[in-house]
Amino acid sequence: MDVWLGLIYLPNLLGMRVIANGGALTKLSDGPEVMNESMRFALGSIVVGLIVLATKYAAYLYTGSIAFYSDALESIINVASALAAAGALHLAQKPADHNHPYGHTKVEYFAAVLEGVLIVLAAVTILRQAYISIMEGPQLEYSLFGFVLNGAASVLNFIWASALMRVGRKHRSPALVADGKHIMTDVYTSVGVIVGVGAAYATGWTILDPILAIVVAVNILWSGWHLVRESIGGLMDEAAPEEEQELLRTLISKHGEGAIEAHDLRTRHSGHVTFVDFHLVVPADMTVLDAHEICDRIEEGIAKELPGARVTIHIEPENHAKHSGIVVI
């Protein structure tokens, strides 16, 4: 167990440390170039996925359980998802260029959509295997070691999925969050499978093995649908959550001293970046320099509370005030 818990620190074991330079490569005294935290965890997912796959397949070999076999098949998709997430994060870190002036961060949503599709594929695979097992008759062999192997793999998956979602939310990475949710659905699958196979052994009702696998597969389908829906929202430039918009209004009012009001606030997410734009109304006789200083204060205030936000402010004279936006105190 200590070995598996140590995988949470896998990036450090590989000689890579957390950096806070916006995702660029940097140099440390004890190692060569290192990647940012998101990329390190994405690469770690590939290693963890391979370990879990081997462990679950071994559990199937010891028990002959079709549910354990289906659980192992889903782990193959976990590895593919981890590869997709790592590739997406690599592309997302590329700086803006002539053809992509807003950067490449949206590529993470494509990876998240792919993972949602893969979750659905895993569920369909489980349903197929369960159907075959029902038609041919379940064949189970009791093996405590097989249960221990599947349980250990599930614990490892739970720890890693929790870490992925924490780091993904910290860096606002849809690809990492999606990968974590995907792995967490694998945990739910494994728990259901272990309970089902255990009940089948205890009661002699071997039909419980494929039936419970079907129930878990339906739950996975539901999770995959929600993941795809959220990712499509990002691709469609869905607005930031209401609580984040409320924070922006508060920050604009707090740091906009000298202006009259702000209106037409618009937001959208692109990976870990939030794009913000609004109109700022200032007195008609205010100089360009003074108006620019107000904009700088607002941008700095937002940057402290929402790292990665990219703010665009359109200055307007007071006769353009709508009296329905953000009142600047």
The yes-or-no verdict on residue 176 having pLDDT over 80 is: no
Q: Which domain holds residue 302?
A: 242-327
Do 126 and 249 sit in the same domain of this protein? no
**85 neighbors 229 (Cβ within 8 angstroms):** no
326 has which bridge partners?
Answer: 262
Rounded Cα distance, 282 and 287, in Å: 10
Q: State the total domains in the chain.
A: 2
Do 107 and 252 sit in the same domain of this protein? no
pLDDT at position 208 is: 80
**328 neighbors 252 (Cβ within 8 angstroms):** yes
pLDDT at position 269 is: 76
Do 175 and 292 sit in the same domain of this protein? no
pTM score, two decimals? 0.55
pLDDT at position 136 is: 79
**117 neighbors 228 (Cβ within 8 angstroms):** yes
The yes-or-no verdict on residue 37 having pLDDT over 60 is: yes
In this structure, what are the phi and psi dihedrals at residue 314, rounded to the nearest 5 degrees? -105, 115
Q: Which helix (H) or strand (E) holds 26?
A: strand 26-28
pLDDT at position 292 is: 95
Do 15 and 132 sit in the same domain of this protein? yes
pLDDT at position 316 is: 93
Confidence of residue 307 (pLDDT cuts 50, 70, 90): confident
pLDDT at position 291 is: 94
Q: What share of the chain is helix, strand, coil (3-state, %, to 5)?
A: 65, 10, 20
Rounded Cα distance, 48 and 186, in Å: 13
Mean pLDDT, the chain, whole residue set: 77
Do 230 and 246 sit in the same domain of this protein? no
State which of 211, 235, 259 marks the end of a domain. Answer: 235
Do 266 and 223 sit in the same domain of this protein? no
pLDDT at position 15 is: 38
Do 261 and 204 sit in the same domain of this protein? no
pLDDT at position 18 is: 34
DSSP string, 103-166: -STTHHHHHHHHHHHHHHHHHHHHHHHHHHHHHH-------HHHHHHHHHHHHHHHHHHHHHHH
Do 197 and 107 sit in the same domain of this protein? yes
**272 neighbors 171 (Cβ within 8 angstroms):** yes
Q: What angle do CA 27, 41, 17 make, to 5 degrees?
A: 25
Average pLDDT over residues 205-227: 77
State which of 179, 203, 235 marks the end of a domain. Answer: 235
Do 121 and 228 sit in the same domain of this protein? yes
Do 224 and 269 sit in the same domain of this protein? no
pLDDT at position 29 is: 35
Average pLDDT over residues 279-283: 93
More confident residue, 181 or 153: 153
The yes-or-no verdict on residue 19 having pLDDT over 70 is: no
Instruction: List, for residues 99-134, the tens digit of each pLDDT value.
Output: 877 776 677 677 667 777 777 887 888 788 788 878
